[in-house]
Amino acid sequence: MPAPDFSKFSCPVPLRDYPHIVMGHGGGGALSRDLIEHVFLPAFTNPLLDRLGDSTVLDMAAELAGGGQLAISTDSYVVRPLFFPGGSIGDLAVNGTVNDLAMSGARPHSLTAAFIIEEGFSIGGLVEIARQMAKAAAAAGVRIVTGDTKVVERGHGDGVYITTAGLGIVPTGLGLGTEAIRDGDVVIASGTLADHGMAIMSVREGLEFEAEITSDSAPLHGLVAAMLAVCPAIRLLRDPTRGGAATSLNEIATLAGMGIEIDEQAIPVRPVVAAACEILGLDPLQVANEGKLLAIVPADAADNVLAAMRGHEHGRDAVAIGRVVEGHPRMVVMRTAIGGTRVIPMPLGEQLPRIC
């Protein structure tokens, strides 16, 4: 993907003739108001946000009637570059928080969005980020109901950092949690691993492959709803973002006090992604995903869950990749293609900084 050309973007209304962010845009006065009215409101408009209060009041009584619970999550997004094949910081900031909510079984309801913008950043770039956030929010069925904008001096940021917080409604009757995990449960991956991290990395390293590597950034709550519809007894859901599947699997094993056994040959990785990992010396299990989930499912429900996943656009390549075992508690072990085994350790840090 070529780098976006901001000269093509234009603000709906001139922003007092500033083509770039100045410190005053973060001052809370008329310039801040300009930025909100000409960049954020046109993209995010809805009756709750448009009131522009310091806080927004939501009537959740009907949503929570009958015993529903409220899920809340937050993440800061500092991905570099801001635009990459298959996505941008804008859709990541929506999908990442939507997915954190979805992993608790929640239907996403509302988002907040707070921007820390570096002095000198182009207003056109900000308009495009807001547009991509709005598109992702619409696709995920959530509204951005309140927000904030701060500006920091040149050299104290990196274009834009976005922090979203999300609210979701968890239906009654779910038993998601590590306590429920049992010997013999099946570990399912919803699709190919490592696409997001390698998309970012291929841009940063300027790698060219025959096929483009694109981020898998996507909202997963619809997939989760389809899975829970056929099996409300799903044990646990995790989205393997920073640190990749290796981190999520180790967290699950540790919290559950059980072992996890993975089949190397079952791990789905696109050939071009596998090639890129090979070139860069990266383990696909440690690379970030932004539109995939791992599920721990009772063995007798695994086929039904897999069938439901494969019927959903974000689960078409779903596959069982391993199982929960009583042996080697709190350890993740891989059965390799040549019949050996090796331990998959908890990564110390992320191989690729600022991946999300």
Binding residues among 164-223 for a second copy as defined by CB under 8 A: 165-168, 170
d(CA 9, CA 17): 15
**Nearest one of 242, 332, 321 to 287, comparing CA atoms:** 242
Task: Among 21, 39, 75, 82, indicate the residue that binds a second copy (CB under 8 A).
Answer: 75
Give the binding range for a second copy (CB under 8 A) out of 156-164, 202-210, 257-265, 335-343. 156-164
Applying the rule CB under 8 A, the residues between 288 and 347 that interact with a second copy are 288, 346-347
Both tokens of residue 157? 């940021």
Gyration radius (Cα) of the chain, Å: 21
Per CB under 8 A, 146 contacts a second copy = yes
**Nearest one of 98, 42, 67 to 173, comparing CA atoms:** 67
Per CB under 8 A, 47 contacts a second copy = no
Give the binding range for a second copy (CB under 8 A) out of 98-106, 181-189, 192-200, 263-271. 98-106
Q: Kindly state the helix (H) or strand (E) to which residue 333 belongs, with its residue range.
A: strand 332-335
**Nearest one of 152, 126, 161 to 44, comparing CA atoms:** 126
Give the binding range for a second copy (CB under 8 A) out of 68-76, 185-193, 197-205, 275-283. 68-76
Applying the rule CB under 8 A, the residues between 116 and 145 that interact with a second copy are 116, 145
Q: What is the DSSP string of 122-162?
A: BHHHHHHHHHHHHHHHHHHT-EEEEEEEEEE-TTSS-SEEE
Question: Which one, 131 or 221, has the nearer CB to a second copy?
Answer: 221
Per CB under 8 A, 46 contacts a second copy = no
Per CB under 8 A, 41 contacts a second copy = no
Applying the rule CB under 8 A, the residues between 8 and 27 that interact with a second copy are 22-27
Is residue 43 within 8 A of residue 111, CB to CB? The reply is no
**Nearest one of 52, 221, 79 to 147, comparing CA atoms:** 52
Count of residues touching a second copy (by CB under 8 A): 80
Is residue 105 within 8 A of residue 233, CB to CB? The reply is no
Question: Which one, 261 or 350, has the nearer CB to a second copy?
Answer: 350
Closest approach of Cβ 312 to a second copy, in Å? Answer: 20
DSSP 8-state code for residue 106: P
The contact mask relative to a second copy for 232-271 (x = CB under 8 A, - = no) is ------xx-xxx---x------------------------
Question: Which one, 132 or 247, has the nearer CB to a second copy?
Answer: 247
